[in-house]
Amino acid sequence: MYKILKKEALSDVTKLMVVEAPQVARKAKPGQFVIVRVDEPGERIPLTIADYDPQAGTITLIFQEVGKSTMQMGTLEPGDELITVAGPLGHPTEIQNYGTAVCVGGGVGIAPAFPIARALKEAGNSVISIIGARNKSLLFWEDRMRTVSDELTVCTDDGSYGRKAVVTEPLKELLETRGKNSIARVWAIGPAIMMKFVAATTKPYNVPTIVSLNTIMIDGTGMCGGCRVVLDSGAQFVCVDGPEFDGHKVNWDILLSRLRFYVDQERVAVERWKHQCKLDSAVAGAGA
């Protein structure tokens, strides 16, 4: 069992948890993920490690409540326990001094972008970060990103905070004004559709672009192949071959289609969960 030590609401639907998981914290590196389970009937949820402290034996997880499992996880409080935290899984990010690196974080993807930006900075890179979300309430960690970035642009789709833009706009300007040779590498972490467009934006400039994929997964150890992604060279498994890939080589249409495969079941599960929550609170209300 893995105890939750701290919980913080980063937005209405984005939660941060610090979890006791010494065997993961000891080995974790930027770019890796864990598989989490909330309770016995629960599914195995892949979550990127947002931060880790080997001395304290803790990891930080940040998740957006988008489905039944993450909504349920959001109801847990410090002192509660997760029944599974397996990892660290996947390859760590290849950190070296590339020169100038750009980190793009979208929505909940800002969380995993942070340790990568920090490691790039520590390795001597000049780090330019762009973070964005649909609106102000979904943004978080602007301050943390600023501490590890030489430049930071914040944008929202609706203009409720920072610049009114999607992340690809400042990225394109950067590529135009700096010239492609001055930017060595781009990292993009966020919704699949955002990563697809970041890759499309950098492609004409030929700037290597690394995306961190969060596909549907079960075991996370290379056993089921449910997470497979199609690259130019054929299919690979996100859990063991990734989670980071060359964004210019990913077949985004297949990826997006596979991500939507269980959308009907997800809706059923969410409705059932909300109904259960209503019943629970009605019972609690009646008891009081």
Partner 1 sequence: MAKKIIPKKTPMPEQPPGERVKNFNEVPYGYTAEQAMAEAQRCLQCAKPLCMTGCPVNVNITGFLKLVADGDFRGAINIVKETNSLPAITGRVCPQEQQCEIVCALAKRFEPVAIGRLERFVADWEAAQVDLPIPQLRTLTGKKVAVVGSGPAGLTVAADLAKMGHHVTVFEALHEAGGVLVYGIPEFRLPKAIVRREVEYVCSLEVKLVKDFVVGRSATVDELLEEYDAVFLGSGAGLPWFLKIPGENLSGVYSANEYLTRSNLMKAYRFPEYDTPIARGRRVITIGGGNVAIDASRTALRLGAEESIIVYRRSRDEMPARAEEIHHAEEEGVQLMLLTTPVAIHGNENGHVKELECIKNELGEPDASGRRRPVPIKGSNFRIPADIVVIAIGQSPSPLIPKTTADLKTGEDGVVTTDNETGKASKKGVFAGGDVATGGATVILAMGQGKKAAKAIDEYLKTGQW
Closest approach of Cβ 186 to partner 1, in Å? 26
Which lies closer to partner 1 via its Cβ, residue 21 or residue 195? Answer: 21
Q: Does 275 bind partner 1 (CB under 8 A)?
A: no
Closest approach of Cβ 76 to partner 1, in Å? 15
Q: Does 89 bind partner 1 (CB under 8 A)?
A: yes
Closest approach of Cβ 231 to partner 1, in Å? 11
Closest approach of Cβ 154 to partner 1, in Å? 34
Closest approach of Cβ 225 to partner 1, in Å? 4
Q: Which residues of 23-57 are buried (b: 16+ CB within 10 A; e: fewer)?
A: ebbeebbbbbbbbbbbeeebeebbbbbbbbeeeeb
Q: What are phi and psi of 284, to 5 degrees?
A: -60, -40
Which lies closer to partner 1 via its Cβ, residue 158 or residue 271? Answer: 271
The residue from 204, 222, 280, 282 that contacts partner 1 (CB under 8 A) is 222
Decide if 70 contacts 125 (C-beta within 8 A).
no
Q: Does 96 bind partner 1 (CB under 8 A)?
A: no
- Smallest Cα–Cα separation from 63: which of 25, 129, 112? 112
Closest approach of Cβ 56 to partner 1, in Å? 18
Residue 178 DSSP one-character state = H
Q: Does 200 bind partner 1 (CB under 8 A)?
A: no
The residue from 47, 71, 86, 198 that contacts partner 1 (CB under 8 A) is 86
Which lies closer to partner 1 via its Cβ, residue 24 or residue 171? Answer: 24
User: What is the edge-to-edge ordering of all strands in the sheet holding 100-106?
Assistant: 163-164, 151-156, 126-133, 100-106, 185-189, 209-212, 244-246
The residue from 5, 166, 200, 218 that contacts partner 1 (CB under 8 A) is 218
Q: Does 266 bind partner 1 (CB under 8 A)?
A: yes
Closest approach of Cβ 74 to partner 1, in Å? 14
Q: What are phi and psi of 80, to 5 degrees?
A: -70, 165
Q: Does 41 bind partner 1 (CB under 8 A)?
A: yes
CA angle 138, 144, 145 (to 5 degrees): 80
Which secondary structure element, helix H or strand E, spans residue 198, and what is its range? helix 192-202
The Cα 109–Cα 96 span in angstroms is 21
How do strand 84-89 and strand 100-106 relate by DSSP bridges? unpaired
Alpha carbons within 13 A on the beta-carbon side of 38: 17
Binding site for partner 1 (CB under 8 A): 23-24, 27, 35, 37, 41-44, 68-69, 83-89, 218-226, 228, 230, 234-235, 240, 253-254, 257-258, 260-262, 265-266, 268-269, 272
